[in-house]
């Protein structure tokens, strides 16, 4: 990649980050290009569609979340580690407007994508919890991520606190029965 192309790429991602923070994932691509100081054609050449751009925008944050998953592997209680991570993921998704939509929209299998990164990071936490016997083995990491993303998407209007509450609710279940762990 040529040096100037790299510079434009970075400028676009930076402008897109600001735009997404302000307007959500539906931000105008034209305006992003304008603010990045490039033509709209340049934006469309680097990112063939909106999701590709959003993927780049959220890539950094996704890496942080994956690192956080790594940290949580050293938490003694595997169940707590998993639930904590899922709650943090929900809280961040609910704040960074559009991340949840991007994660749900993009095919989860495709490597290099944000979704794939989260799958591999989260799978370790899930497996540890299953081995500890606190999580049903028939629940896949894809199930958990879909559930959490769904909640984050729904809670985008009501805020991260509500998102975390709903995640806790879904993890524990709605039934009034004593917790036996």
Partner DNA sequence: ACAATAAGTGGGGTGGCACCCCGCTTCTGC
Partner DNA sequence: GCAGAAGCGGGGTGCCACCCCACTTATTGT
Show contacts with a copy of itself in window 46-85 (CB under 8 A). 79
41 touches which of DNA, a copy of itself, none (CB within 5 to 8 A by kind)? DNA
CA–CA distance, 128 with 134 (Å, rounded to integer): 9
Question: What are the structure tokens assigned to 10, written together?
Answer: 């970075």
75/170 with CB nearer a copy of itself: 170
Give the number of other Cβ atoms within 10 Å of residue 5's Cβ.
Answer: 12
Q: Does 146 bind a copy of itself (CB under 8 A)?
A: yes
12/89 with CB nearer a copy of itself: 89
CA–CA distance, 171 with 136 (Å, rounded to integer): 11
Stretch that binds DNA, among 3-11, 56-64, 78-86, 94-102 (CB under 7 A): 3-11
Give the contact letters, 83-112, x = binds to a copy of itself (CB under 8 A), - = no: ---------------------x--------
Question: What are the structure tokens assigned to 68, written together?
Answer: 């956080």
Rg (CA), the chain: 18
Identify the three-state secondary structure at position 85: helix
């Amino acid at each position: 990649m040529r040096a100037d192309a790299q510079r434009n790429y970075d400028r676009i991602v930076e402008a897109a980050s600001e735009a997404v923070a302000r307007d959500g994932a539906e931000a105008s691509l034209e305006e992003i290009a304008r603010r990045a100081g490039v033509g709209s054609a340049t934006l469309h050449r680097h990112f063939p569609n909106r999701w590709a751009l959003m993927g780049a925008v959220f890539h950094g944050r996704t890496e942080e979340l994956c690192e956080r998953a790594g940290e949580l592997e050293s938490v003694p209680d595997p169940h707590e580690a998993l639930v904590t991570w899922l709650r943090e993921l929900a809280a961040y998704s609910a704040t960074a407007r559009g991340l949840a939509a991007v994660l749900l929209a993009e095919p989860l299998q495709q490597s290099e994508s944000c979704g794939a990164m989260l799958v591999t990071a989260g799978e370790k936490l899930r497996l540890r919890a299953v081995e500890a016997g606190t999580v049903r083995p028939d629940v896949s990491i894809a199930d958990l991520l879909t559930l959490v993303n769904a909640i984050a998407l729904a809670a985008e209007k009501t805020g991260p606190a509500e998102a975390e509450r709903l995640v806790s609710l879904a993890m524990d279940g709605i039934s009034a029965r004593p917790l036996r762990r």
